[in-house]
């Protein structure tokens, strides 16, 4: 499993606009081979957000970043004054995973 995260610092008074832009955009992720799931996370600190995507592999994520779907998904960016700083990317390879057991 491969995880890619982008950390965003948003001007707190623009948080609603930031969240709305994510809700209303076309992500195209569902059509990308190797995509597992996506979450937009809101932190405890005002204006703190993380986009969190899970992929079957680093290669699947890399293929996404070089795809037409990626270009289309990022075509309508945020207005510059919503973000307080440039997003910071972090990438991780999964070395251990645990899941809740399902009661039957």
* 23 in Cβ contact with 39 (< 8 Å): no
In CATH, what number is assigned to the domain containing residue 17? 3.30.70.100
* Predicted pLDDT at 65: 93
Judged on CB neighbours under 10 Å (0-12, 13-18, 19+), 99 is exposed
pTM of the model: 0.85
Q: Is residue 6 part of a domain?
A: yes
Using DSSP's 3-state secondary structure scheme, residue 76 falls into coil
Residue 104 confidence class, pLDDT cut points 50, 70, 90: low
Domain count, the chain: 1
Q: Of 15-29, 43-57, 83-97, where does the model show the most confidence?
A: 43-57
**Residue 61: pLDDT above 70?**
yes
Range of the domain at 7: 2-93
Residue 18: half-sphere exposure toward Cβ, Cα within 13 Å: 24
Q: What is the mean pLDDT of residues 75-80?
A: 71
Mean pLDDT of 55-77: 89
Is 85:10 a contact under the CB 8 Å cutoff? no
């Amino acid at each position: 499993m491969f995880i890619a995260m982008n950390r965003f610092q948003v001007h707190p008074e623009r948080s609603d606009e930031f969240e709305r832009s994510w809700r209303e955009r076309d992500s195209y992720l569902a059509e990308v081979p190797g995509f597992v799931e996506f979450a937009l996370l809101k932190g405890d600190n005002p204006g703190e957000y993380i986009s969190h995507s899970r992929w079957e592999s680093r290669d699947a994520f890399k293929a996404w970043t070089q795809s037409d779907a990626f270009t289309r998904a990022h075509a309508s960016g945020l207005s510059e004054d919503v973000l307080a700083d440039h997003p910071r990317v972090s990438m991780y390879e999964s070395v251990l995973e645990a899941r809740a057991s399902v009661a039957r």
